[in-house]
Amino acid sequence: MEIELAIIGGGPAAYSAGIYAVRAGIKPIIFEKDGGGGLAIFSPNIENYPGFESISGIDLMEKMRLQAKKYCEIRTFEKVKKIQKNNNDFYIETIKEKYKSKAVIISTGSEYKKLKIQGESELQGKGVSYCATCDGFFFKDKKVAVIGGGNSALIEAIYLKQIGCKEVVLIHRRDQLRAEKAYEEEAKKNNIKFLFNKNVIKINGSEKVETISVKDVINLKETKLKINGVFISIGEIPQNLIAKEMNIKLDEKGYIIVDKNQRTNIKGVYAAGDITGGLRQIITACAEGAIAALSTTEVLGKNYPY
């Protein structure tokens, strides 16, 4: 099947790119590997996306997805396996079909980073989770630990306390948080307990999580904490496999390098959203998606005055 523009991904960058592309006279198809929404759907509460004082990630992404769907086709649960460039065309192979496209926007985002410690994968779904919105409900009146010191960890910890966890302990490997001050203050107001300078080295339990082993980074002392649930929130890793296989230039952390028009080093390929690193916010993903979509006009032979 021949298409004008393939947008790979199902997050805010992809949806925004779809909307802007159609409005610029381009016919895109958005390819989602799953039901869509990206990592943002795991955010219990978003308070910094202008226009919504407070909205859950699921609701905001659903609104964006529905809006994009009004404009363009979204092929859902159609993971892109491979993209090959031949002359000025891109040959795209998904798990369902083959396509030929004149331009590509990669907005594949990122996924949760793993601690890679004993017990983590064995007990996933049995007390180990990466998403408080999805699994927090099961830990009402229970004691949980949140691992990490960034914005996400703080937001998860506050959410877990607010939905009724008996005790929420935030465990961070350094002596200070990476998160914004506002989240730190909010966490303190919610009686979140902080354990600084500690690494979680093992998650213990047979059928479900029972304890975690924690090592102090200064005196190297190991202790065990009784806990019912562990929420791991230690950042993300870019989903760059397609980009790597196309020899698209990445930075040292694996994010796609783009110019101010979202161009990659390969003509006709643009990137937008979390996959380009940097601020990694919904608002910047939307903006990058819009810029990428309009930039594709330069290879699609359309006139767009920008």
Binding site for ligand NDP (CB under 6 A): 48, 115, 147-153, 155, 173-174, 178, 233-236, 280-281
| CA gap 134, 291 in Å, rounded | 32
d(CA 64, CA 60) in angstroms, rounded, equals: 6
Task: Lay out the sheet containing 222-226: strands in order across.
Answer: 198-204, 211-216, 222-226
Q: Residue 281 CB, nearest distance to ligand NDP (Å)?
A: 6
Please identify, using beta-carbon distances, which residue of 32 and 274 lies nearer to ligand NDP: 274
Contact residues for 83 (Cβ-Cβ < 8 A; gap 6+): 6, 8, 90, 91, 92, 93, 104, 242, 245, 246
Tokens for 46, please give them.
């978003």
Residue closer to ligand NDP by CB (options 68, 234) is: 234
Q: Kindly state the smallest distance separating residue 209's Cβ from ligand NDP, in Å.
A: 17
Active site residue 134: yes
Which is nearer to ligand NDP, 29 or 46 (by Cβ)?
A: 46
Shortest Cβ distance from residue 44 to ligand NDP (Å)? 10
Is residue 135 annotated as part of the catalytic site, yes or no? yes
Helix (H) or strand (E) holding 71: helix 57-71
Q: How many CA atoms lie within 13 A of 262 on its CB side?
A: 31
Residue type, 201: I
CA distances from 92 to 95, 96, 99 (A): 10, 11, 5
CB nearer to ligand NDP: pick between 174 and 267: 174
Structure tokens at 151: 């914005």
Question: Length of the chain in residues, anyone?
Answer: 306
Contact criterion met (CB below 8 Å) for 99 and 1:
yes
Let me know: does 205 contact 229? Beta carbons within 8 Å.
no
Residue 278 Cβ vs ligand NDP, minimum distance, rounded to whole Å:
8
Catalytic residue among 131, 165, 274, 286: 131
Nearest distance in Å: CB 78, ligand NDP: 27
**Catalytic residue, candidates 34, 59, 72, 135:** 135
> What is the distance between the alpha carbons of residues 17 and 30, in angstroms, rounded to a whole number?
9
Q: Residue type for 51, please?
A: G
Kindly state the helix (H) or strand (E) to which residue 15 belongs, with its residue range.
helix 12-23
CB of 47 to ligand NDP, least distance (A): 7
The token pair that represents 102 in the structure block: 């004149």
* Residue 89 or 111 having the CB closest to ligand NDP: 111
- Residue number with CB closer to ligand NDP (101 or 240): 240
Least Cβ distance, residue 151 to ligand NDP (angstroms): 4
**SS3 for 262?**
coil
Task: Name the residue whose CB lies closest to ligand NDP.
Answer: 150
For ligand NDP, the closer CB: 4 or 274? 274
131 is catalytic: yes
Query: Residues 59, 72, 89, 134: which is the catalytic one?
Result: 134
Catalytic residues: 131, 134-135
